[in-house]
Amino acid sequence: MKKTFEPRFDETYYTETLENGLKLVIWHKPLFTATSCIFATPYGALDYSQTTEDGTIINDPAGIAHFLEHKMFECSHGDVMTDFSEMGANVNAFTSYTETCYTFSTCQKDIAKPLNLLLDFVQELSITDQSVEKEKGIICQELAMYQQMPDSRLFNETFKALYALHPLNEDIGGSSESVMSTSRTQLENCYKRNYHPSCMTLVIVTPIDPLLILEIVKENQSKKLFDPPVKVYRTPCNEQDEVCSTHHIIEMDVSTPKVSLAYKFKPILKSDKDRTQDEWEIRCLLESHFSSLNPDYQTWIDQDLINDYFFYEVDFGKDYAMMMFVNETDNPSQFKAFIEEQLMVLKDKVIGLEVLNQLKKRYAGQAMRLYNSPDDIASITIKGLFTGVDYFSLIRLIESLNQHTIKETFAKLDFHQSALIEINSFKNC
């Protein structure tokens, strides 16, 4: 097991790859009481269409990764949640666009039982046609819950307006139609393709001796036999350059209209590190301009161009790139004109050295602060491993950014493809 000490953060972690390919990361936090654990696969909502090595395309219903996450909790004798609870451990799971994570946390000193249980339940799928059908009602209620939340609805509708073919145009949980069409066989096949230990990572943040943890994991894995891994990758889509809809209005029973102005860029075909650097360069430039770092920010608030809900988002994924600006306003066209005008200003702007250094200090402090929480440590470790840029490297990368490459990276963005999405009150429509 390889030990790494980060003196600047005063943090120690251990890494090991087991014989079956399972990657293990252990953070030793002797002063903490709780152990926090994540077992994750880089299989998320964007992966519902996959291609095998021989070129066969497997199209599953949208939301299948999330559906599978729900069904993993079923075991031969019922529900694995009860088993965790009996051990005094909180178990949970979540599916994002790019990964599915199973977590537990506990303050119990006997970590072997919940850790073995986590490994066992995620490494065995046991479902029936009947239980799959029963889950559909629960998932549809979950979708309905998000559907009526104005914030999450705006996000989803923005992706739908930008993308015609890319799986970002589907909600993480899919739709009620895709959920209702999901079968047991599809779930089982999807499980076989994406839950092999060689594609999974286990992160444990614990006060317990890391060698003891390694022993528990090794012993657990040594008892199990796995079929050879199936190599699959997300089916590439020939996403069009154009947005699907330049202007879309959604009616909801709300009193506050919301608007999102989103830009679609061509995917940034670079290494993970270089793409991440591009994303952070843009992020720093936007933060320097669209926040209180800019003295004009107060004027924009005073002139009602933005309110305290205003925010922006930049996301440069492996096969997509987008940026969005979100605000509450009953004058969306004014907001659009305002953002467009400011983006023109940014084209000629070089971020000030003082501001850039200020941001570097801020991000370094925020990064360190994440190590206050075992859950956060586990999450950022998984994110770092799956995006190809670990957190310490990310901080070093941010600290290495310079004014001129930021300007160059921004200059390369083509802002011609945009979509304006409004959430409006019925009463105003």
Partner 1 sequence: MNSAQHRVTVQLLNTSKFKDIVISVRFLCPLKRTNSLERSLLSSMIQDRSEKYDTKHKVTAVLDNLYGASIASRTLTYGKAHLLEFRCKVLNEKFCTTAHLEQQFELVHQFLFHPLLSEESFHEAKDNFKDAIARKVDKPSAFASNQAMLMMGKDEAMEAACIPTIKEIEAITLEDVRKCWKQMMSENHICVQIQGELNEDTIRSYIQRFLPFESSNDLPEVEYVIHKEDYQEASDTKHIDQTMLVMMFETGMKASDPDFWKLRCANALFGQLPTSLLFQEVREKRSLCYSIYSSILSYEGCMSVSTGVSLHQLEETRNVILEQFQRMKQGDFSDADFETAKIMLKDSVLSTADDMNAMLNFQYQNLLLCYDRKLEDCLNDIEMTTREDVIRLFNQMNHKVTYILKQEEHNEENI
Closer residue to partner 1, CB minimum distance, 237 or 364: 364
Rounded to the nearest whole angstrom, what is the least distance from the CB of residue 55 to partner 1 in the complex?
Answer: 37
Do residues 409 and 274 lie in contact, with contact meaning Cβ atoms separated by under 8 Å? no
Residue 236 CB, shortest distance to partner 1, in Å, is: 33
Shortest distance (Å) from residue 171 CB to partner 1 = 13
Distance of closest approach, residue 106 Cβ to partner 1, in angstroms: 6
- Minimum CB distance to partner 1 smaller for 1 or for 144: 144
Residue whose token pair is 């095998």: 52
Closer to partner 1 by CB, 18 or 81: give it: 81
Q: Are 237 and 166 in contact (CB under 8 A)?
A: yes
Q: Which is nearer to partner 1, 108 or 116 (CB)?
A: 108
Least distance to partner 1, CB of residue 335, Å: 15
Nearer to partner 1, 152 or 198 (CB): 152
According to the 3-state scheme, what is the secondary structure of the chain? CEEEEECCCCEEEEEEECCCCCEEEEEECCCCCCEEEEEEECCCHHHCEEEECCCCEEECCCCHHHHHHHHCCEECCEEHHHHHHHCCEEEEEEECCCCEEEEEEECCCCCHHHHHHHHHHHCCCCCCHHHHHHHHHHHHHHHHHHHCCHHHHHHHHHHHHHCCCCHHHCCCCCCHHHHHCCCHHHHHHHHHHHCCHHHCEEEEEECCCHHHHHHHHHHHHHCCCCCCCCCEEECCCCCCCCCCCCEEEEEECCCCCEEEEEEEECCCCCCHHHHHHHHHHHHHHHHHHCCCCCCHHHHHHHCCCCCCCCEEEEEECCCCEEEEEEEECCCHHHHHHHHHHHHHHHHCCCCCHHHHHHHHHHHHHHHHHHHHCHHHHHHHHHHHHHHCCCHHHHHHHHHCCCHHHHHHHHHCCCCCCEEEEEEEEHHHC
Output the smallest distance, CB 377 to partner 1, in A.
11
Tell me how far, at minimum, the Cβ of 366 lies from partner 1, in Å. Answer: 5
Minimum distance from residue 67 beta carbon to partner 1 (Å): 13
Q: What's the rounded Cα separation, in Å, for the pair 207 and 111? A: 10
- CB 424, min distance to partner 1, A: 12
Q: Among residues 52 and 175, whose Cβ is nearest to partner 1? A: 175
Q: Please, are residues 25 and 205 in contact by the beta-carbon 8 Å criterion?
A: no
**Closest CB to partner 1 among 134 and 231?**
134
Least distance CB 56 / partner 1 (angstroms): 33
Q: What is the dihedral of CA 296, 301, 307, 309, to 10 degrees?
A: 30
Shortest Å distance, C-beta 10 to partner 1: 7
Between 356 and 413, CB nearer to partner 1: 356
Given the complex with partner 1, which of 228 and 295 has the nearer CB atom?
295
Structure tokens at 198: 């060689």
Torsion of CA 214, 99, 5, 1, to 10 degrees: 30
Residue number, 192 or 360, with CB nearest to partner 1:
360
For partner 1, which is the closer residue by CB, 319 or 328? 328
Residue of 352, 295, 291 lying closest to 325 (CA atoms): 291
